[in-house]
Structure 1
């Protein structure tokens, strides 16, 4: 009982001291000698003074901030490159004089400028006769790929045996993206495949993929009208 009370008393005193120091931040300015005697344990440097501990803490924060800044800069450069590639693609598509020319430019730019290993365009048109286009319907694509949630949002991930059928059974592909064309994929899909397992991941941002899908749909509608 005595030990319990002692521990409780010690905890109470520590709380009172902490509260006092919080309310009187100038305390150590008036007791510099005490500040110099304070030692704190550091997991790397062992026993250090309070000032040294603060400097080490600030240094760690600075290193973390620098790492975050470098990541932001790298992302900005990467996004800038993607934006430029998308702009070149869209100009080529919009300036096309026919649907066939637009599709050829779309596939060519995606393969070459975006360095993709396999690009397939699937359109849901029973009477379609365009070259370099696969024709089917959304239900068949869902059954073919086991992807039952192809609607409005691009899908990214690892290539499976069923997904590889979108790419003519290309078993060298490691990652893929499916870009829906139109609401609920009413027009079709673009399938992008890469041998790089990390190019398309389930948690990646899909802003540029959405943009490619929207522009492709608009160009297809324009050519049909």
Structure 2
């Protein structure tokens, strides 16, 4: 078998990579060689094809940059919402009003979501609307290692909301290593809270709410 017969696209590509001066030494080939157009039936010179490739890559980079800027702006807006929510909780002097303050603040800052709160093992809590005496609920929340995101969660919790949710997030609340409640969010869309989504932001909300509501462990 001749050496020419063993040539493959891979060996030719490797040769060109290993010999970058090839087209300098054969400039007339570079200008005359034609390759298929990626989006049409006619052909292009190698130079035109390279320019087209660079334009495509440039457009992809522009889209990525736009996405990064959008995410940065979105994260900044979320940070502002959380900061404002925290200032409202810190300003509340009456611990008994804290559960409603937590819920109202989150509803105000995240208007596309429904918010619910259930608490337990907080001796000073007197507002029955927020008391979660359901043993099965407490067991479900105590078993969460991180916020639950999905279409089900603890199904009876769906009744806490004005309308049947498409998806829910259930954030466990803890104080000094023990479970004290759950912060629940409901969205209309089935894909809003997904099992594979990141939960860092929800965990931050849970820690902030837990620290705030722990005052009900000591209030008179």
Same fold (TM over 0.5): yes
Q: What residue ranges of structure 2 are gaps of 5+ in the alignment?
A: none
Given the alignment, which residue of 94, 99, 116 partners 1:98?
A: 94
Q: Number of matched residues?
A: 215
Farther-moved stretch of structure 1 (178-187 vs 13-22):
13-22
Matched with 1:211 is 204
By relative contact order (CA 8 Å, sep 6+), the higher-ranking structure is 2
8 Å CA contact retained: 1:92, 1:105: yes
Given the alignment, which residue of 169, 174, 189 partners 1:177?
A: 169
1:33 lines up with 2:28 in the alignment: yes
Matched with 1:125 is 121
Farther-moved stretch of structure 1 (71-80 vs 17-26):
17-26
Given the alignment, which residue of 154, 157, 167 partners 2:159?
A: 167
- Deviation, structure 1 residue 39: 1.4
Matched with 2:47 is 51
Distance 1:79 1:150, change over 3 A: farther
Q: What residue ranges of structure 1 are gaps of 5+ in the alignment?
A: none
SS at match of 2:168: strand
Distance 1:134 1:221, change over 3 A: closer
8 Å CA contact retained: 2:89, 2:212: yes
- Deviation, structure 1 residue 63: 1.3
Paired with 1:176 and 1:89, the residues of 2 have a C-alpha distance of: 21
1:135 lines up with 2:132 in the alignment: yes
Distance 1:136 1:44, change over 3 A: same
TM-score normalised according to structure 2 size? 0.82
SS at match of 2:182: strand
Paired with 1:103 and 1:179, the residues of 2 have a C-alpha distance of: 15
